[in-house]
Chains A and B, each alone.
Chain A
Amino acid sequence: MANEGPALRERLEEIRRRGVAAFESAESQEALEAARIEFLGRGGLVSRAMSDLKALPAEEKPATGQAGNRVKKALEALLEVRSAAIAAAESGETDEVTDLTLPGRRTWQGGVHPVTRVIDEVCEIFREIGFTIATGPEIESDWHNFTSLNIPLDHPAADMHDTFYLDQGVLLRTHTSPVQARIMLEHDPPVRVLAPGLVFRRDPWDASHAPAFEQIEGLAVDEGIDFVEFRAAIDFFVHRFFGTGTRTRFRPSYFPFTEPSAEVDVTCFLCEGSGCSTCKGTGWVEIMGSGMVNPAVFEAVGYDSERFTGYAFGMGPARIALLRYRIPDIRLLYEGDAAFLEQFC
């Protein structure tokens, strides 16, 4: 009787092989049901083989019992798969595979303007060093736009601003700098504000000029602000915005409302300083005008220029967007062309 266990296991394996063949060849639910009764039914082959288990010696029972269960499970699983396949075939759904390379169903993409992206990023960075965000009117008096900023109305410096006038002494602001005066007239130091907004110049449209464009003004006034801190603030911004590998270069310049005045260059972020058409081969790109606030401006708004010092700067997010996203023509920014705007979603 020693070989009864192995013999039963062999018989079970044979049942499994025949069962698989029978289930797979069944083409209808009826044929499948007939096969089920033959193999898995109450008096079917599997169940009969399992009842022979009882006759085995005790030590043979566990292994053979497990083998029987495996066969039963395997056939049951196959039965389920075949049944579903036959049901699908009978309901007309062939077993054709879904083409998963077809495009999915989408909604319209929304997004903010590339210039908004730049403005938001700049604001976020300056917020980290204590700046808040201010706004100011786009229609200004000539006093706010020029006089308060130490620009006499008949000075050649005013020639730099070819201005849209609306009425005697009323104009579309030529820079965001008049927000400086408005802020200082209303608030006492410490002042740290950023003022993004639209500014207007009588420049005819071309690839790099528009009669209006965005600017971001910055102003910090308190006791103890010096050129060293000013450089550090600008360096902080540049490293955060353009990357830590970017270097800055401060050059003398002229703005009536700052003194000393400086243009700030950064190493060209397209060629990383080796020279390209964007930086005209110099390796540097100019990003802002800036400087220490001229005491004359403090006096115009009633600040004590002996006690308070500060720095101010202005930059063009539209120009930065053109450079960063390599947009060749400023007109694209203001046309509202959906195909253009979608690229920045």
Chain B
Amino acid sequence: MSDHRSSDDIIICEAVNKWYGEYHALRDVSLRVKKGEVIVVFGPSGSGKSTFIRTINRLEEHQEGRIIVDGIEMSNDIRNIDAIRRETGMVFQQFNLFPHLTVIDNITLAPIWVRKKTRKESEARALELLERVGIKEQARKFPGQLSGGQQQRVAIARALAMEPRIMLFDEPTSALDPEMIKEVLDVMKELARSGMTMLCVTHEMGFAREVADRMVFMDRGQIVEEGTPEQIFTNPRQERTKLFLSQIL
């Protein structure tokens, strides 16, 4: 395992393949992510972006290839899966906050039960995080009482409370009204600048241009092209990338 640690690649995917029944959802997907890198994954609907980032914390199981996260090989060993899940935070399109718990209880649930922290230190940390995402005053409310943008910021705080080394985002702004997108993107930009390793599925090209180190274009389960934002936006190598960008820009 130490041979993986020696490089500073924190996520290594090698020839990952996944099928849903007959349907080949991921085809030989290979990607290496360095510590502190911000990667934006984009591509048409159904191209396998969600499937790909969900295999990284085993919300989806891959059938072929290797995935190594922070030196831990993803296998059927429940201990490895749990270890990887503790290292990675995930933010979903639909927020997925726990509606029966207050904002602060949403954030402290995992630190208390998984990290075995005391309630007091977890709550103190939660309040810090809420301050960081700009909604400290909402701590005692229930998720249903918040706006979409506020809910997504709580979801980010909840993931950060586990002190993950990697954050995965699956279209975090797609379910939001335009005026709320900015407040979530601002939080994500701040996170990116703080040195967090981030893998983001998003079509917010402004965000990509501003903070992404690399962009990955996926189509039909494959990585078609990857490069710096500069290169992708000004000089895409593949015809399909060019076509897709012309449609969304």
Query: Are both chains from one complex?
Result: no
| A residues adjacent to B (C-beta < 8 A) | none
